[in-house]
Amino acid sequence: MKIYIVIPAHNEAEFIGKTLQSLVSQTYLPQKIVVVNDQSIDNTPKIVEDFIAQYPFIQLKNTNSSEAHQPGSKVINAFNAGLNSLDKEYDLICKFDADLIFPTNYLETIVRIFQRNPKVGMAGGVCTILVNNLWITETLTDKDHVRGALKCYRKACFKAINGLKPAMGWDTVDELLAQYHGWEIETTSKLQVKHLKPTGANYNNKTSQYKQGKAFYRLGYGLLITSIASAKLAYMKKKPKLLAAYLKGYFLAKKEKETLLVSPEEASFIRKLRWKKMKNKLF
């Protein structure tokens, strides 16, 4: 299977070399890697160019997605710039962050997952963070969720969901739409990926917190599911005050009549799917 990888990067000089080194050391090499340099003012492009000199399957794409580091939209705009620079001859398309260290068998194992089950449309390992000199699994999401940092899609699934949406919540709506179109999602805890920066480190201001609530609205969750999801996320982040911020964001989006990321039919499916998963966990 041909693997193409797109890595959006904004001022990632501290980490991008480690990420690329882990990818060129894979037991199953990708056919192409595109690093999208999005307005970096550090040595990010120079580090990538040094790798290009050694590995011809790596490319550098410079882009100017936006000035503000907005959750969701900036990274996906950069991803799309990289994607558009590639041909369509891939079997798997991956969106990886620029601050990850992959185990050497990562891509080989991911390929086996897709080959073993043709119904799998999206797959990934798990992110770990360094705590007290130990690498432990990040627990901000459910175990069956493929983290936005290391998404890998089968081409047919990627086409079915019409690519990635440049908005906060993109890494949730992609999985919901994949399931709407009949695809399965698979994660494996056997693939432990080192995540060198804390998730959401850049999204701690109130505007970004409101955007999470707005994302729930745009996913078509409705108030009750949004309230449950907001309470759960605030609990997992160990910041109870976030619940109020998320709910305020939801009501702001409703008041402003923001456009949903999904159709009415898709929203109905998503709500039913969410209720089904909650019932399965309770019973």
CATH label of the domain that carries residue 50? 3.90.550.10
Q: How many CB atoms lie within 10 A of CB 117?
A: 12
Q: Is residue 18 part of a domain?
A: yes
Domain final residue, candidates 195, 229, 257: 195
CA–CA distances in Å: residue 235 to residues 70, 204, 243: 24, 15, 9
pLDDT for the residue numbered 51 = 98
User: Do 119 and 92 fall within a single domain?
Assistant: yes
Query: Which residues does 126 contact at the CB level (< 8 Å), separation at least 6?
Result: 137, 138, 143, 147, 187, 188, 189, 191, 192, 193
User: Do 100 and 217 fall within a single domain?
Assistant: no
* Domain total of the chain: 2
Query: Which residues does 153 contact at the CB level (< 8 Å), separation at least 6?
Result: 92, 93, 94, 121, 122, 174
Q: 113 is written with which tokens?
A: 């997952």
186-219 tens-digit pLDDT = 999 999 999 998 765 555 556 677 888 999 999 9
User: Do 122 and 21 fall within a single domain?
Assistant: yes
Q: Is residue 269 part of a domain?
A: yes
What is the domain range of residue 134?
Answer: 3-195
DSSP 106-149: HHHHHHHHHHH-TTEEEEEEEEEEEETTEEEE--SS-TTPPPTT
Please identify which residue in the block is written with the tokens 């966990």. Answer: 281
In angstroms, how far is the first alpha carbon of the chain from the final one?
39
User: Do 246 and 109 fall within a single domain?
Assistant: no
Q: Name the average pLDDT for the chain.
A: 91
Q: Is residue 200 part of a domain?
A: no
User: Do 88 and 155 fall within a single domain?
Assistant: yes
Query: Which residues does 90 contact at the CB level (< 8 Å), separation at least 6?
Result: 2, 3, 4, 31, 32, 155
Q: Is residue 78 part of a domain?
A: yes
User: Do 185 and 137 fall within a single domain?
Assistant: yes
57-73 tens-digit pLDDT = 999 999 886 555 556 68
- DSSP 3-state assignment of 207? helix
Specify the range with the lowest mean pLDDT, choosing from 10-19, 30-39, 125-134, 136-145: 136-145
Which residues on neighbouring strands pair with residue 127, listed in sequence order? 193
Average the pLDDT over 247-272 and give the result. 95
Q: Is residue 170 part of a domain?
A: yes
Q: Is residue 178 part of a domain?
A: yes
Domain final residue, candidates 140, 169, 195: 195
User: Do 171 and 277 fall within a single domain?
Assistant: no
Nearest CA-CA partner of 118 in 166, 146, 155: 155
| Strand stretches in the chain, DSSP E | 3-9, 32-38, 58-63, 92-96, 100-101, 120-131, 134-137, 150-154, 184-195
| CA 277 – CA 283 distance, rounded (Å) | 10
CA–CA distances in Å: residue 48 to residues 32, 37, 63, 198, 256: 14, 9, 15, 23, 42
Q: Is residue 47 part of a domain?
A: yes
User: Do 227 and 114 fall within a single domain?
Assistant: no
User: Do 79 and 48 fall within a single domain?
Assistant: yes
pLDDT for the residue numbered 72 = 67
User: Do 217 and 188 fall within a single domain?
Assistant: no
Q: Tell whether the model's pLDDT for residue 283 goes beyond 70.
A: no
Domain final residue, candidates 195, 226, 250: 195
User: Do 133 and 89 fall within a single domain?
Assistant: yes
User: Do 159 and 226 fall within a single domain?
Assistant: no
| CA 56 – CA 112 distance, rounded (Å) | 25
Q: Is residue 201 part of a domain?
A: no
